[in-house]
């Protein structure tokens, strides 16, 4: 079963974390309680049973102000990206059923570099080359995992890298 969500990254979300990356801002929305010790807020983003045992495939459409880039814990459908009224619209699909707490969205002034046939690193423009060099062996790790555990079923393996400066208090 697929459910579709449409979300606009903006400053009014009480579950939003703002991080300063150099001169750029990265907005991160994560439904996981383990990432930054937030309570699980997946239900505020889409209708779901917020339990680890319940998994679903999903599609998402995320709109951000151009020239920002949106990323998500799903495969970016690059060919569907469009510009609408000054907004950049990104489409994502997750073919593998996942628990709601694994859904994450990030947006910011980001660039990517391909570091393997199915892996890419994202970071702010000033850091993207260094991040790509740091994770150049990612494909080797994926292949090792496949030897031990079987085929990598997630499609694209993307890494989001940034030096995060917390601008909020963690309870």
- Say if residue 6's pLDDT is above 70: no
Supply the CATH number for residue 17's domain: 2.60.40
pLDDT, tens digit (0-9, with 9 covering 90-100), for 77-88: 989 999 988 888
Q: What is the DSSP letter of 166?
A: B
Q: What domain range includes position 55?
A: 2-160
Domain count of the chain? 1
The answer to whether position 167 is within a domain reads no
Check whether 96 has a pLDDT greater than 70. Answer: yes
What confidence score (pLDDT) does residue 51 get? 74
Question: Has residue 171 been placed in a domain?
Answer: no
What residues contact residue 10 under an 8 Å CB cut-off, 6+ apart? none
Cβ-based neighbours of 130, under 8 Å, separated by 6 or more: 123
Domain for residue 89, yes or no? yes
DSSP type of residue 73: S
Beta strands in the chain (DSSP E): 2-8, 17-21, 24-30, 55-65, 69-72, 75-76, 82-84, 87-99, 104-108, 111-116, 119-123, 157-160
Measured CA to CA, the distance from residue 117 to residue 98 in angstroms comes to 24
Q: What is the rounded CA–CA span in Å between residue 36 and residue 161?
A: 16
Give the pLDDT confidence score for residue 100 in this predicted structure.
80
Report for 28-37, 101-110, 158-167: range of highest mean pLDDT? 101-110
The answer to the question of residue 8 being in a domain is yes
168 in any annotated domain: no
Grade residue 14 by pLDDT with cuts at 50, 70 and 90: very low
How confident is the model over 114-167, as pLDDT tens digits? Answer: 999 999 999 989 899 999 999 999 999 999 999 999 999 999 999 998 765 545
Three-state DSSP at 138 gives helix
């Amino acid at each position: 079963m697929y459910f579709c969500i449409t979300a606009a990254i903006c400053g009014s979300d009480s579950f939003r974390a703002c991080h300063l990356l150099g001169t750029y801002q990265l907005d991160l929305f994560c439904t996981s309680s383990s990432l930054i010790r937030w309570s699980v807020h997946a239900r505020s983003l889409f209708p779901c049973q917020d339990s680890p045992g319940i998994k679903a495939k999903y599609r998402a459409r995320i709109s951000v102000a151009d020239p920002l880039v949106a990323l998500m814990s799903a495969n970016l459908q690059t060919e569907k990206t469009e510009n609408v009224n000054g907004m950049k619209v990104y489409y994502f699909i997750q073919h593998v059923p996942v628990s709601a707490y694994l859904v994450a969205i990030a947006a910011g002034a980001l660039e990517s570099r391909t570091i393997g046939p199915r892996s890419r690193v994202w970071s702010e423009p000033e850091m993207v080359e260094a991040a790509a060099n740091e994770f150049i062996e990612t494909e080797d790790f994926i292949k090792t995992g496949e030897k031990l555990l079987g085929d990598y079923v997630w499609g694209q393996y993307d890494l989001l890298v940034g030096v995060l400066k917390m601008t909020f208090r963690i309870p």
